[in-house]
């Protein structure tokens, strides 16, 4: 079986981010293969744990993938402050006779943004709304490479490593079956509060969940981190503001200082995106009837990657250009507008001087109390029930191939990837019996001995 078939059969999707099916990504040919090990959002521990614990496996899989895509240049990009991880990878490079090189970066946000990373490693800016492949690069991450290694041993994706940090007594790395309830994961870290909210992912691009919504959440192939927070934490309060209030605040308080644009990482790699202009024109958004005019005024919001720098760091008035851009992107889609793309952007000379040091960001986000507290050793936890989302990746959902009452073994296919589509299979993550299926989920209960 070749590499791509093994990856497809194992149901691998990008272990972070949107979950792009890996067999499609690695089917490309490219000159540069970059393993993204930046883990640029503060408080996430998972990739560092994987690099310290499985460096040989990651490098063997990365080497196989690099050969497949025909890469001449192969790098693992990580922060120079990750000393233990650098030592582990350097030793593994020698032991596995790997031709990968380590590309060390300063500690800044968003070092792990795919387009920022590609610009840094290759010196080329990815076109607006384009892919790294447009400049001859393919980017994957360490969690995905570990899954590729497992696929080459015949093991599909059934488990996930994730960290649980924040307002907890015992921050922890967990190894759990996909479909494990997030509340079970949080309990493993002993939350300090009876009532709390959480962020799934990092503090900048992760999603805030509150109250009962937390009970519904389960681990997916892309879950890498849970941050437990007090309900009155700054990051939770930021989510409370209604869009009407955001618009009203923008109208009355935007001083057009342009800091949101000057600090925007996409603007700095040469993309046409000026959030200050979107903010300036927001007051008349509802009044613009002509699509041409709408696209001219708001079209560049489509180049926003939601990194959050404008609203969480740059804006001195605590306004929310990111949320406004998200709103505008929906309006552009509803009007069927696709702004023209600059396919040959050039990075600004100011780029190296406008990177945001991670520590300053952490202080701004009021996360200093949790920043230097690291997850302990990894613990494996297997619940009696898993609830697996049928769609855990971008593209088309697969097709369930089990019914209620079926007995399944861990690793058995329960959702088959849709043929000829951007899709991925899903496998049972524990031995048990299928007890529930709807259009969204498959529940498997462990059978009593």
- Contact residues: ligand SF4, CB under 6 A: 254-260, 264, 266, 273, 275-276, 279, 304-310, 314-315, 317, 319, 321-322, 325
Smallest distance, ligand SF4 to C-beta of residue 238, A: 13
Using DSSP, state whether 298 is helix, strand or coil.
Answer: helix
Q: In terms of CB distance, is 137 or 315 closer to ligand SF4?
A: 315
State the pairing for strand pair 73-79/32-36.
parallel
Whichever of 67 and 333 has its CB closer to ligand SF4, that residue is 333
Min CB(77)–ligand SF4 separation in Å: 20
Least separation, in Å, of the C-beta of 20 and ligand SF4?
Answer: 19
Residue 353's contacts (CB-CB under 8 Å, 6 or more residues apart) are none
Which position has the token pair 């990075």? 347
| Residue number, 132 or 321, with CB nearest to ligand SF4 | 321
Query: Nearest distance from residue 7's CB to ligand SF4, in Å?
Result: 30
Residue number with CB closer to ligand SF4 (258 or 374): 258
Environment class of 349 (CB within 10 Å of its CB; exposed 0-12, middle 13-18, buried 19+): exposed
Is the separation of the CB atoms in 3 and 68 below 8 Å?
yes
Instruction: Work out the widest C-alpha separation in the chain, in whole angstroms.
Output: 67
Exposed e or buried b per residue across 25-34, where buried means at least 16 C-beta atoms within 10 angstroms of its C-beta: bbeeebebbb
| Cβ closest to ligand SF4, residue 322 vs residue 391 | 322
Token pair listed for 226: 């849970």
Q: Which residue has the tokens 């994730």?
A: 162
- What is the closest distance, in whole angstroms, from the C-beta atom of residue 270 to ligand SF4 in the complex? 13
Measured from the CB of residue 13, what is the shortest distance to ligand SF4 in angstroms? 24
Cβ of residue 316: shortest distance to ligand SF4, in angstroms?
A: 6
Q: How far is the CB of 300 from ligand SF4 (least distance, A)?
A: 9
Cβ proximity of 89 and 116 under 8 Å: no
Tokens of 72: 């001449």
Q: DSSP letters of 5-16? A: HHHHHHT-B-SS
Phi, psi (degrees; rounded to nearest 5) at 83? -60, -45
> Among candidates 4, 14, 10, 49, which has minimal Cα distance to 35?
14
| In the complex, minimum distance from the CB of residue 328 to ligand SF4, in angstroms, rounded to a whole number | 10
**Spatial separation of the C-alpha atoms in residues 120 and 38, rounded to whole Å:** 12
Sign of CA dihedral 428, 226, 242, 287: negative
Our CB check for ligand SF4 shows the closer of 110 and 171 to be 110
Q: Are 430 and 410 in contact (CB under 8 A)?
A: yes
Q: Is the dihedral of CA 293, 294, 299, 301 positive or negative?
A: positive
C-alpha dist (Å) from residue 250 to 117, 266, 273, 327: 32, 22, 18, 14
> To the nearest whole angstrom, how small is the minimum distance from the Cβ of residue 284 to ligand SF4?
16
Q: Which is nearer to ligand SF4, 266 or 391 (CB)?
A: 266
d(CA 62, CA 51): 12
């Amino acid at each position: 079986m070749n590499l791509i078939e093994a990856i497809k059969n194992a149901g691998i999707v990008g272990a972070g981010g949107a979950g792009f099916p890996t067999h499609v990504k690695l089917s490309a040919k490219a000159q540069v293969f970059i393993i993204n090990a930046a883990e640029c959002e503060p408080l996430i521990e998972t990739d560092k744990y994987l690099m310290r614990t499985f460096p040989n496996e990651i490098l063997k899989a990365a080497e196989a993938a690099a050969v497949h895509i025909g890469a001449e240049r192969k790098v693992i990009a990580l922060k120079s402050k990750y000393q233990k991880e650098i030592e582990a990878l350097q030793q593994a490079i020698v032991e596995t006779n790997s031709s990968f090189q380590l590309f060390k970066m300063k500690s800044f946000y968003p070092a792990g943004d795919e387009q920022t990373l590609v610009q840094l490693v290759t010196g080329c800016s990815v076109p607006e709304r384009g892919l790294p492949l447009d400049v001859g690069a393919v980017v994957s991450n360490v969690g995905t490479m570990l899954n590729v290694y497992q696929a080459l041993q015949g093991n599909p994706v059934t488990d996930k490593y994730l960290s649980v940090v924040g307002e907890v007594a015992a921050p922890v790395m967990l190894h759990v079956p996909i479909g494990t309830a997030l509340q079970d994961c949080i309990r493993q870290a002993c939350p300090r509060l009876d009532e709390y909210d959480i962020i799934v992912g990092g503090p900048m691009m992760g999603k805030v969940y509150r109250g009962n919504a937390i009970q519904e959440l389960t681990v997916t192939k892309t879950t890498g981190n849970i941050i437990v927070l007090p309900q009155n934490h700054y990051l939770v309060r930021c989510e409370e503001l209604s869009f009407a209030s955001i618009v009203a605040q923008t109208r009355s308080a935007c001083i057009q200082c342009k800091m949101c644009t000057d600090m925007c990482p996409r603007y700095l790699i040469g993309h046409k995106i000026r959030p200050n202009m979107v903010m300036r024109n927001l007051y008349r958004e509802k009044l613009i009837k002509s699509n041409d005019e709408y696209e001219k005024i708001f079209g560049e919001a489509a180049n926003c990657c939601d990194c959050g720098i404008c609203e969480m760091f740059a804006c001195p008035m605590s306004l929310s250009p990111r949320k406004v851009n998200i709103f505008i992107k929906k309006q552009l889609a509803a009007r069927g507008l696709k702004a023209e793309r600059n396919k040959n952007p050039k990075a600004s000379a100011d780029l190296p001087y406008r990177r945001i040091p991670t520590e300053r960001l952490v202080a701004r986000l009021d996360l200093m109390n949790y920043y230097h507290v690291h997850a302990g050793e990894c613990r494996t936890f297997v619940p009696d029930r898993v609830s697996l989302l049928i769609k855990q990746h971008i593209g088309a959902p697969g097709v369930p191939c089990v019914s209620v009452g079926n007995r399944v073994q861990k690793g058995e296919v329960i959702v088959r990837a849709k043929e000829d589509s951007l899709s991925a299979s899903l496998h049972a993550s524990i031995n048990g019996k299928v007890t529930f299926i709807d259009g969204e989920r498959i529940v498997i209960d462990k059978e009593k001995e």
